[in-house]
Amino acid sequence: MSLTIGIDVGGTKVAAGVVNSRGRIIEKLKRPTPSASPERTARVIAEAVIDLLGRHQAEAVGIGAAGYVDAVGSDILFAPNLAWRNEPLKEQVEDHVGLPVLVENDANAAAWAETMLGAARGHEHVMLVAVGTGIGAGIVINGRLYRGRWGIAGEPGHYRVVPDGRLCGCGNRGCWEQYASGSALVAEAREFARRSPGPAVRLLQLGGGSAEGINGPEVTQAAHEGDAAALRCFEIVGTWLGQGLAALAAILDPGCFVIGGGVSEAGDLLIRPAQAAFSGALTGGTYRPHAEIKLAQLGAEAGVIGAADLARRALAGGKLASGKLAARVQSTAPLSGPEPRDGPSPSRRTSTTKPVTKAAMAASAAQPGTVQPTSVATSR
């Protein structure tokens, strides 16, 4: 059975796994991410691959990375939590490992894995929403990953839900992830503890006596114990989540939403209020089918499995050339879908896509499982 290697690069760790054609991980390992240095991060990825190649014969490498990846699966345009800025990651890793490499956004890789092998099996129209420190997402339409024109589709965390609302790390106000993420859950709990220390006694106890000591795991624990204040926090965040999903359904009409990310480990605490709010907010709700809202099944392994499977498919489809030739081949052959009508896909050298970089800089989207540079709060 042929093997590929999947890599999931987050702000704190690099996870690598050898994956077979059924999506099963044969062996996996983890290394810390030297997030301040793109070169060292590429080297850590390459070393993990070489380590695994010592015991397994793999044919290609797929990398899911917490950042904006270009349309041809080659470069990282921008990463909010890592030092990547227009970084030729495919080339850097291929130079070390001698295998063809595909680079993909980590939430896209997870969305693909959940569609093929996880919670959304059997669906062709899927949106994965990863609720972590921020909100990440991946979109599958007609059974194919949807990347958008520039490769950065599926960043709804910065969709504005409240005009002039809470300030977001991206510089805008009122972004969805300020209301429906792990950071929002923690913010609600801390604010409540400061305002009403009496009813928040259990939260404060778990937080070591201060509102600032309350983090995601404490809120989840208190909610599982039945603490009313913690349950209220999940109710608020879950409601924002469900309302946002209804807005996304108005655009995409998916058959299934998969909720992943660290906060989804709270299970029904998050899903139930989200489902209720979704049903209430969906336009024409009584007269139309409703998308399923399901918990992710593959957990932290979704990124590794999805990246490996995408690399396998790209290789089988002749769309994953190795080495420097690849950039030229891929610049005229997108990984999936027909040639865009508005011109050929950008290659790394012919276009640094200024509008994209500008937009990317403006929207420092937090990806699931990583810590925003300006915030230490994480619910993962």
List the structure tokens of 105: 């956004």
**Closer to Zn ion at the Cβ: 115 or 379?**
379
Site pattern 141..160 for Zn ion (x: CB under 5 A): -----------------x--
* Minimum distance, C-beta of residue 148 to Zn ion, in the bound complex (Å): 18
Smallest gap from Cβ 150 to Zn ion, in A, equals 18
Shortest gap between Cβ of 175 and Zn ion (angstroms)?
3
- The first and second tokens of residue 225, run together, are 């114990």
> Judged by CB, which is closer to Zn ion: 158, or 294?
158
Cα distance between residue 182 and residue 262, in whole Å: 8
DSSP 176: G
Query: Starting at the edge strand that comes first in sequence, how are the strands of the sheet with 126-131 ordered?
Result: 144-145, 135-141, 126-131, 256-260, 292-295
Q: How far is the CB of 178 from Zn ion (least distance, A)?
A: 7
Q: How far is the CB of 66 from Zn ion (least distance, A)?
A: 16
Q: By C-beta, is 88 or 182 nearer to Zn ion?
A: 182
Question: x/- binding map, residues 159-188, to Zn ion, per CB under 5 A?
Answer: ---------x-x-x--x-------------
Where b means 16+ CB within 10 Å and e means fewer, 58-91 reads: bebbbbbbbbbbbbbbbbbbbbbbbebebbbbbb
Question: Would you count residue 19 as binding Zn ion (CB under 5 A)?
Answer: no
CB 186 to Zn ion: min, Å: 17
- Cα–Cα distances (Å) from 324 to 90, 91, 191, 199, 329, in that order, read 10, 7, 53, 62, 9
Q: Map 95-119 to HEC letters.
A: HHHCCCEEEEEHHHHHHHHHHHHCC
List the interface residues with Zn ion, window 258-287 (CB under 5 A).
none
Both tokens assigned to 260: 């992943």
Which C-beta is closer to Zn ion: that of 118 or that of 156? 156
Interface positions with Zn ion (CB under 5 A): 158, 168, 170, 172, 175
